[in-house]
Structures are given as C-alpha cells and as structure tokens.
Chain A
C-alpha cells in the first residue's frame, strides 16, 4: 500500500482555439482559478483537422485543477460564453492530488 495520502480534486480540461487563449485565461483568473497549465495541441473534431501548422488552425489544451463547485462554475461559463461560436471541448475528471491547499 502506498504511504502517501492524497485528496480528491477535479481537473477541468479545455481543448479550444488558441486565438482565444488570452480571453479565456482572463476569464479563468476572474472566476477564481488559482492556477492552470496551457499546452499546444492538435487534433481533429467536428470543425475539421486543426493541425497547428499555423496560427489560424492552432489549438491549446488548458488544464485547471480545483474543487468541484468551482469547476462546475467554470464549465457553465464556458458553455454560456464560448460553446456556440468556438471550437471547444471541455470535460471534468476526478484526480488525486498532494498538497490539496494549492487547489
């Protein structure tokens, strides 16, 4: 058995167009996210191939680890503000973290 003790948190993963990165991160800050990780991404979805070969087709993946209530607030905001007009997929998954006070 492992000797480390972990706490449950929720990870919100957002895959979307890199063109809205600044606006999206500003929203996350404003709504209370205490941190996030952004990586470049590429893939294929209902909006066709987004191969990141140049800015217009570039995607990002944003990951936020937080409590469930904040994650649901963020998700609701994404749905209301971005889902209609931008290529975006977002999902929640449970994660186990060390140092829970960070999140």
Chain B
C-alpha cells in the first residue's frame, strides 16, 4: 500500500513529465520546508526533554563516522568513472542527508504506529555537515584557497540546521504542555504540509529527466545501489547502537538519503569546477524517488529482521 503523501509525489512527477502548467510558488516551497523542519525539530526536542542527553554522545560520534564511511565509499566508486571534482562533490551529496526523505520516513512509521527514538532528528542535523567538509577535502586536498570560515558559516548556520536545532531547543524547553497551543499547526498539519511539499518535489524530480538521459546507466545504477549499501551500513550502525526497529529504519533511511539542498549550495561555492547537474540528476532523479517509493519499506523490513520486533 502506497502512503497517501507519496501519491502526491507521483502526481507532481506525472504532471512534470507531461509538461503541465502546474507550478507552485517558490515561497510556498520555502514555507512548507520551514514548517516541516520546525515540526521535526519540535517533536524531537519534546522527546529529548524526557531523557538524559549525555549517554547520547557516543551515538552522535557513531553516526558521524557512518556519514564519513558512506562518503569515502561513494568517492571510491565514482572516481572510477568521473573526474576528481565531480566524484568528490557527488560523494558528499550521498554522505549527507535529506530532510524530505527523513520526513517521508517519519510519516511512514507514524502511519503504522511504529515508535522511534527522539534523538533521530539530532542525527539528521549532525549528519549533514561532516560529508561536506570531507567532500571538499577530497576535491582539493588540504591547501590554501578554501575559505573555511565562510564555508563553515554557510554549513553550520544554513537554514536547515538552524531550524532543526532551533526547533529542538524550543521543544526541549517548552515540553508537551508548552507545545500544546502550536500543536495544530506543526503536528496535526504535518501530513498535509508534507503532501504539498512532495507535490513540488515531484515537479522538481521530473525536471531531472533530461539530464538523466544524457548521463546514462552508470548514474542510474549508482543512484539505486548506493542508497541500498548505505542503508545496510545504517542498519548495522543502528543495531550496534541498540536502537528500536523504528529507530534503525530511520537511521537506515538517513544513511540511504542524499542531500539536495545544503550540499549542492555549499559545493557550488567550494568546488565550482564540479558539475552540479551531474550530482542533482543522481540524487533527485534516481535516489530520492527510489527511497520514498521502495527504499523505506525495504529498510524497515530489513530493520525488523535484524533489530527484532514484528515486521
């Protein structure tokens, strides 16, 4: 059974492929992503308020290593075919994470009443940046010419990280009672906001079709196999950390997901000689649709087998 929000994605995809007039105002896309990021942050912060934070530190280290391992693996595969800058930039996309994919995963678990740990949104925030730094290092090595201060600012104070961690801080300090008045907007409307957001994602993905046809089968194969291998690493990591089946599923989804907002913007500045169309065709044209259509249910099936609990 396909989740209803995914049907909205398919509608957008079909409309885009049919060259429909349908077009969402860019401000709506920005507003919806703001609501989704804050909602994910608030929910996580609310959950975190009920447990000590210190024991989570080793988990943070583990998921950062997971992202680094993925980036190196992707680079090793891509380097066989692409120039160094292209391989490094695309590898950074795959090491990093996608909020939209995470939101679909959260929604998939919520729809089936499967619980997951409240620290997963923190994983989302801290897994975004390290692969970007590694990708820049892989592309240029450690030498002068990279303005790390400016890149650091772009990466750590980007919209996504600020809204996620800011939402968490608000959720953590307000608690369930404090959040009650804003619950209708952020929690009750989450599904509706996600549905319209995915409609736009379908339109964006449809625009990658031309570039994808030009790049050929290698990129399509990479776009499908890389998330599956990453998800396997994520499941291994989640099981080792003792997460619940829902938590393991979401960590696998995070590992499998590839960034298409923060990483392209930073890479465009830091590694301008890399071709952004190449990375985006793989990430948006192949990996994002694969993850939300087939990947997430598959990762949960795997997670349930390895982390226990009913599939």
Please judge, given known A-B contacts A19-B265, A19-B268, whether A54 and B273 are in contact too, CB under 8 Å: no
Is A56 an interface position by the 8 A CB rule? Answer: yes
Are the C-beta atoms of B23 and A53 separated by less than 8 Å?
A: yes
Residues of B within 8 A of A58 (CB): 26
Listed in ascending order, the chain A residues whose CB lies under 8 Å from chain B are 17, 19-20, 23, 52-56, 58, 84-86
List, in ascending order, chain B residues with CB within 8 A of A53's CB.
23-24, 26, 203-204
Q: Does B178 contact A (CB under 8 A)?
A: no
Total of A-B residue pairs, C-beta within 8 Å: 33
Residue of B nearest to A86 (CB): B272
A23 touches B269 (CB 8 A): yes
Interface centre among A23, A52, A58, A85 (most CB of B within 10 A): A85
B263-284 at interface with A (beta carbon < 8 Å) = 264-265, 268-269, 272-273, 276, 280
Q: How many Å from the CB of B278 to the closest CB on chain A? A: 13
Determine whether the beta carbon of B204 is less than 8 Å from that of A55: no
Number of residues of chain B lying within 8 A (CB) of chain A: 18
B204 — which chain A residues lie within 8 A by C-beta? 53-54
Asked if residues B268 and A20 are in contact (CB atoms below 8 Å), the reply is yes
B272 touches A85 (CB 8 A): yes
- Chain B residues whose CB sits within 8 angstroms of the CB of A20 once the complex forms: 268-269
7 A/B residue pairs, CB under 8 Å, sorted by A: A19-B265, A19-B268, A20-B269, A53-B204, A55-B265, A56-B260, A85-B272
Looking at B26, B29, B150, B269, which has the most chain A CB atoms within 10 Å of its CB? B26
